[in-house]
Chains A and B, each alone.
Chain A
Amino acid sequence: MHNIQRLKPLVVTLVMALCFLSGQLSTEVFAAASEAKIGFALSMTGGAASYGATQTKGAQLAIDEINAAAGADGLKILPVFEDDASVPQQGISVFNKFINADKVSIIIGPTLSNTAQVADRIAQDAGMPVLGISNTAKGITEIGDFVFRNSLTEMIVIPNTIKVAKEKFGLKKVAVFYGNDDAFTKGGYEAFKKALADAGIEILTEQSFAKGDRDFSPQLTQIKGKNPDAIIVSALVEEASGIVSQARQLGIAATVPIIGGNGFNSPALIKNAGEAAEGVMMGAAWNASSTLPANSKFVAAFTAKNGGAPDQFAAQAYAGVYIAYEAIKKAGSTTDHKAIRDALLQLKELDTVLGKFSFTAGRDADHIPVVQIVKGGKFTVLE
């Protein structure tokens, strides 16, 4: 008895040491597995290269922040960036690489809805969660229950834009101009058409263009001849810039606002079209001037790092990384893709730069949109 009493400190020390060692061991085991590989399929070249560049910057900033905050033994992100070249075929091979060779936890991207329409099916078939950060066309998340997006669809943003524009400018009759060979611009066109019908605004004429067109003057001349109150345009930023400047050159008065969809929401529009961009309106998923603490911090950090202000695509990419990270952490596994998918669905009111973020039951983004107008060479929120 006495002996045992004397041994007590020794036993305690031993037990403590063992606990410590095993603790040490378990953290070590966890640390080895605590790197979540995320595959980024973004358009670094091709028509959507300007979106892909800003998305990469936004995502990289989020990764740097997360990895710095994770410390020595927290969950870190190991990004794998690949170029989908703005074409579906390349998107498919990038997705296959992520699924079979890199074995990532989740795929973020691709940049274009067109690519997502085909590439996301590969992910769905493989049971790989994919989070779109800029796909806004119809039918993306309908591909399957592993397909998510944090980009508000045109179906939500556009009716809001039309409603605000109607109140502001008293629109009665408009002309519609859209790209008819691209899932994104066509989806935008359909959303505009429905929103205009719901708002009781008459469509005077519908004109369309094809990807890669540079000359829009024939269509714009026809539109000018109809004297619309506004021109509704569904286009990506390269074409949008050309349309805006050629419209003003053809003498369509600045009092006729040009209203665009998500594709207009890029600083490239102001840079490319210059003065002609003044007064251009667009719906947006992200409010650049929002003073939410998360947002101010993001804008400041992004500007300091890249020497220029972020746009919506950077913000959505940034938010996307945080959303994916949150889900992987919650799932408690970097390899159980089903658990990661379930965790994504369970995210509720997550604080992001986009605002309080959740997914709808249909795996689409759920947060509040804004309407912006270009004033003095800057995007400002139209109240």
Chain B
Amino acid sequence: MDLLAQQLVNGLFIGSVYGLFAVGYTLVFGVLDILNLAHAAVFTLGGLIALWLVETWGLSIWIAFPASVLICGLLGLLLDQVAFAPLRQRADSNFSGLISSIAMAIIFESAALGLFGARTVRFPAGTVSVHIWRWEGLSITSLQVEIVAISILLMFALTQFLNRARVGKAIRAVAENDRTARLLGIHVDGIIAFTFFISSALGGAAGILFGLYFDSLSPDMGRSIELKGLAVIILGGMGSIPGAILGGLAFGLSEVLTVAITGTSNLRDAVAFTVLFTVLVLRPSGLLGRKKLREA
């Protein structure tokens, strides 16, 4: 019994990181109808930049974390300006935007490779003090709790922001129909840029949390989560924020339970994607996606 409970904890934990990653992914899709394939590269850079701040500048992780998140947000602005904005006026901007985001992903990854080297790097010992709670054979680390708490907090803040804040409402208006939004006097380009800022900041935050927990960062670490993030937002319903969170948790749990049952990690992705396939056959718009895909 406590074995199963421990596996559920493992699954919820990794699922919340997937969720945080996917929320940023799906946000851009909800607003622009464009997949930003450079999101995984920003995820990687988030982790590596935080490590760099901690290691080279001797900053505490509690300062390095927001600083790195901010830098990732700025990278999001850059991404928008370089890869998406110039194409926005063209007729086929969705497709060309997808391609140019792949180019940005390669540039970001190469930059990470050049700046940080190909080696797997780690946060110095004692970056976060880890306390381990044990209860009835169940073992949870303070780091896990912090990571889940930060993920939930960020996801909650985002939802509130979109529902209540003026800019959040503007984002939703642009998501609904950018032409109407423009007619209503909303600065559409600014809102899109801001969406990229938030999306990339969240992606970077997921990268830092991922790097902190597994304590192993490399320029190619984004690849392991890239396809999963895509699967998570499809599973949850494209463009749906609660869907991305739910999809992330479902994905994390299915992965962990598959490994636990089969005793090998080779079937992990196979089962996760089979689940995705089944859901899509039964519910083509994903778990929480309504007929109307754009919700943001």
Contacts and interface: CB of A to CB of B under 8 A. Distances in A.
Contacts of A224: 3, 6
Interface string B16-58: 0000000000000000000000000000000000000000000
B224 interface: yes
B216 A242 contact: yes
B263 A242 contact: no
Contacts of A250: 6, 139
Q: Across the A-B interface, give the 4 residue pairs with the lowest CB-CB distance, nearest first.
A: A251-B139, A218-B259, A214-B214, A45-B118
Given A249-B130, A250-B6, A215 B263 contact: no
Interface of A: 45-46, 49-50, 180-181, 205-210, 212-215, 217-219, 221-222, 224-225, 238, 241-242, 245, 249-251, 272, 274
A65 to B, nearest CB: 27
A221 B264 contact: no
Contacts of B263: 205-208, 219, 222
B224 A50 contact: no
B89 interface: no
Given A212-B224, A214-B214, A272-B122, A251 B265 contact: no
B149 interface: no
Given A205-B263, A218-B7, 12 more contacts: A208-B265, A208-B266, A210-B265, A215-B14, A218-B255, A218-B257, A221-B7, A222-B260, A242-B216, A245-B215, A249-B132, A272-B122
B120 interface: yes
B266 to A, nearest CB: 6
Given A49-B118, A242-B216, A214 B224 contact: yes
Contacts, number: 80
Contacts of A46: 118
Give the interface size bracket for B toward A: 20 to 34
Contacts of B256: 215, 217-218
B262 to A, nearest CB: 9
Interface string B208-230: 00100011100001001000000
Interface in B248-282: 255-257, 259-260, 263-266
B288 to A, nearest CB: 26
A209 B139 contact: no
A213 B137 CA distance: 25
Contacts of B11: 218
A156 to B, nearest CB: 28
Contact of A251 (B118, B134, B266): B134
B81 interface: no
A241 B125 CA distance: 13
B264 A208 contact: yes
Given A213-B265, A250-B6, A274 B118 contact: no
A146 to B, nearest CB: 31
Contacts of B265: 208-210, 213, 218-219
B6 A221 contact: yes
B36 to A, nearest CB: 24
Nearest to B144: A249
A242 B215 CA distance: 8
A184 B97 CA distance: 42
B220 to A, nearest CB: 8
B120 A238 contact: yes
Contact of A221 (B10, B118, B210, B255): B10
Given A49-B119, A181-B266, A218-B260, A242 B214 contact: yes
Contacts of B177: none
A219 B120 CA distance: 22
A195 B215 CA distance: 33
Contacts of A272: 122, 215-216
